[in-house]
Structure 1
Amino acid sequence: MAAIKKLKSSPKVAVITGISGQDGSYLCELLLEKGYKVHGLVRPSAQRQQTLNRPLREGVTLHYGDMSDLGRLIQILGSINDIDEIYHLAAQSHVGVSFETPLSTSDTNAMGTLRLLEAMRVLDLGKTTRFYNAGTSELYGSDMPAPQTEETPFHPVSPYATAKQFQYWTTVNFREAYGFHASNGILFNHESPRRGTTFVTRKITTQVALIACGLLESFELGNINAIRDWGHAKDYMRGAHLILQQPKGGDYVLASGQAYSVRQFVEAAFRIIGVKIAWSGTGIDEIGTDSVSSKVRVRVNPKYYRTLENETLLGSAAKARRVLGWQPKYTFDDLVEEMVLSDIRAVKAGKMFAHTYLDLDWLVDESTEASKDPSYGIDSNGGIHDNDPPINNSVVMGNMVNWEDGNRRDISTEYFP
């Protein structure tokens, strides 16, 4: 009886693939707040360019792993005792890139998920460990009635989305065929200051921040009429956790239920810095100008158009609200304001990244004196590279973290092409 009581009082154990990404960072923070022990998978190809002696938060262990290596996945999961939950967030997440790299996208997103589930099956974890798969609204494709729900048919229009459809149905299949507690979260677009700058929302907010600081005149976008349902990644990771607290596995749409165009996102971002955008022209000749100074701030460039585009994605999270009690806390305006102000602070501090802004500060124990030193994580010339124009200023942040072999090594952010 004593052993049973001890087991019940032990912290929950979670594994997060893709822990170094936007969603992984917020989910890790949430689970740590709830008292979990968290294990994260990090690709061995991650660039590690600096070493920082900053203490890591208690409860986090990182493992080298790759979704292409079934043997390694079995080894990692087998080395962790009493895994309660696995959150599968790792993916090649760029829709545009998937058209150029359909094979690697499919291997990572589709086959990687199958390998992870198969590792669980080999280790007989299916009935004791709960599995969450990060799905996407890109599954729905174009010309689907809005709002999209769990019952809306899928019609993927990109290699990314077709791989995600395989991922979705593989999760369902392991639930139905092998009795796994396996769930899909069909997440509509979710953003934050930690979003990679290759995504349109973060591209907009970084460029607006550079304009606000006098370092940029204008920038280019693709289809500004595309409509998306945008929410905050924090809200969606809270939803992912709620999904795995249900007695049975299931599939849930997480969405704000409100749709905005890329054009409206641009306007909202500029409003934060006191600029009203006036549009003129049509199609690829359309421009957005400062309504007061008449300076051109936004241009349309067809090279940023996708090969195939989902014009409108709008979700209904009615099931998640009813079953999970999930409710978004952030409004669209809250989200845009947080992203713009965060990027302005980053520009002023010389911390603007060329491709991504994940400095892994969420892994640092902020209670220690060492973590409060602002010089940590900034390169020798303050983050400004003399030979680069301002838009390409970059800093690689890193942290000393605990690895499964008991050693402490550096893990730095990754640059995505």
Structure 2
Amino acid sequence: MGTAFITGITGQDGSYLAANLLEEGHRIIGLLREGRAPGAMLDGVEYAEWDFTDVGALTALLQKFRPSEFYNLAAFSSGAGMYDDPVAIGELNGISVARVLRAILDANTSIRFCQASSSEMFGDPVSSPQSESTPFRPCSPYGAAKLFAHTVVGAYRRRHGAFACSAILYNHESPLRGRAFVTRKIADAVARIRAGLDDELKLGNLEAQRDWGYAPDYVRALRLMLAHSNADDYVVATGQLHSVREFCELAFAHAGLDYRDWVRENAADVRLDRRGQVVGDATKAQQILGWCPSTDFGTLVRLMVDASIASLANKDSMS
């Protein structure tokens, strides 16, 4: 098997992708920002550092390790932090992607590159559901930076013949989702309330809707994109909208609780989200890649709640 570079390897998607590739026998190089500790080290993964500004240094790393694939999953994001530190967001989520592509062309043009783009590029969409041809209208520095990177990927593909793809990923969750995200907050709160450790969960707008999928399904889409004979961009989504209220209802019911007894709406947590429905049309990925989500919304919610309950029980047994 070949060698794959992964940025953002310590995150949800990077962890699932690394495990998948390792199981198939690939050599994995986790590319970390210079000076950043990897946190929990993944068994079988090698690590290298790059300061995300030096094209020459990355070119040298690519020449040293000779990867066949490069997955760029690193992004400045914290759930509600789409507007936090726009300079850092623009640098990491946007400009660094141009540097990666430049280094790939300098090192080895046969490296296949996959960029984790975002539904945030559609911002307040002109129509729903969104496909690859829907106009982009980002509303945040995060969405704007992702759109810059997405545009650069397409430009390198057309002008230089690079095998560069963008996966326009809609919200995708799992037990590995960071605690700053609402889905993980809900799952963890269910576990703590069930255990008698908390007596309420404060959330923002319960009617807010998202197109939520299961992270391992979306990682599978990334793999299919780089395995295809032609590089292209694809929307990766379920095509279904669910509200925060629905998530709460299913999550609490799975633990034998009624969410109405525990969930409180908190005005301070409400995000300004006056926009059209952000929901994806993954027809192209289904027809060309043969991809479709395998885990439905209800199963996703139950998986996350079960994982939070098990994690809390494990902590209690170790204390």
Q: Using the alignment, how far apart are the partners of 2:236 and 2:38 within structure 1? A: 34
Q: Is the 8 A contact 2:239 2:279 kept in 1?
A: yes
Change over 3 Å in CA distance of 1:167–1:347 after alignment to 2: same
Structure 1 partner of 2:25:
35
Which structure: larger Rg?
A: 1
Match of 1:22 in 2: 12
Cα distance in 1 for partners of 2:31, 2:98 equals 16
Show the counterpart of 1:301: 266
Q: Does 1:198 align with 2:180?
A: yes
Q: Distance in 2 between matches of 1:31 and 1:313?
A: 31
Range moving further from structure 2, 154-163 or 305-314: 305-314
Is the Cα contact below 8 Å between 2:7 and 2:31 reproduced in 1?
yes
- 1:172 equivalenced with 2:154 (yes/no): yes
SS in 1 for 2:202: strand
CA contact (8 A) 2:125 2:136 kept: no
Deviations for 1:342-396, whole angstroms, at most 9, x for unmatched residues?
0011111118xxxxxxxxxxxxxxxxxxxxxx9xxxxxxx4x6xxxxxxxxxxxx
**Where do 5+ consecutive residues of structure 1 fail to align?**
1-10, 278-288, 291-296, 352-373, 375-381, 385-417
- Paired with 2:177 and 2:234, the residues of 1 have a C-alpha distance of 23
In 2, Cα distance between equivalents of 1:99 and 1:302? 19
Instruction: Return the TM-score normalized by structure 2.
Output: 0.94
Worse-matched range after superposition: 322-331 or 40-49: 40-49
Residue from 241, 259, 282 that aligns with 2:223: 241
- Cα deviation, 1:29-77, whole Å, max 9, x if unaligned, reads 1112222111111234435789x9xx933xx311122323434322322
What is the Cα deviation at residue 276 of structure 1? 2.5
Counterpart position of 1:92: 76
> Partner of 2:176: helix, strand, or coil?
coil
Whole-angstrom CA distance in 1 between matches of 2:266 and 2:58:
42
Question: Alignment RMSD, CA only?
Answer: 2.0
Question: Is 1:108 aligned with 2:92?
Answer: yes
Aligned partner of 1:339 among 286, 304, 315: 304
Q: Which residue of 2 aligns with 1:322?
A: 287
Q: Distance in 1 between matches of 2:274 and 2:105?
A: 37
**1:117 alignment partner, one of 98, 101, 106:** 101
1:200-241 alpha-carbon deviations (Å, 9 max, x no partner): 111111111111111101121122211111111000000100
Unaligned runs of 5+ in 2: none
Amino acid at match of 2:28: V
Q: What residue is the counterpart of 2:59 in the other structure?
A: 74
- Offset at residue 25 of structure 1 (A): 0.6
Q: Which residue of the partner structure matches residue 293 of structure 1?
A: none
CA distance in 2 between counterparts of 1:165 and 1:22 reads: 22
Identity rate, percent: 39
Q: Structure 1 residues 241, 309: closer, same or farther in 2, change over 3 A?
A: farther
Question: What's 2:194 paired with?
Answer: 212
Task: Decide whether the 8 Å contact of 1:88 with 1:134 is kept in 2.
Answer: yes
Does the 8 Å contact 2:165/2:231 carry over to 1?
Answer: yes
What does the per-residue CA deviation read over 1:144-191, in whole Å, with 9 as the maximum and x for residues that have no partner?
322111111111111100000001001001101111011110111100
Higher helix share: 2
Distance in structure 2 (CA, Å) of the matches to 1:63 and 1:328: 33
**Are the equivalent residues in 1 in contact too, given 2:221–2:291 (CA < 8 A)?**
yes
User: What is the aligned residue count?
Assistant: 319
- Contact 1:40–1:63 (Cα < 8 Å) also in 2: yes
Give the superposition deviation at 1:12: 1.6
Q: Verify the 8 A CA contact 1:157 1:309 in the aligned structure 2.
A: no
Give the conservation status (yes or no) of the 8 Å contact 2:129–2:277. no
The 3 A distance-change label for structure 1 pair 221 and 69 is: farther
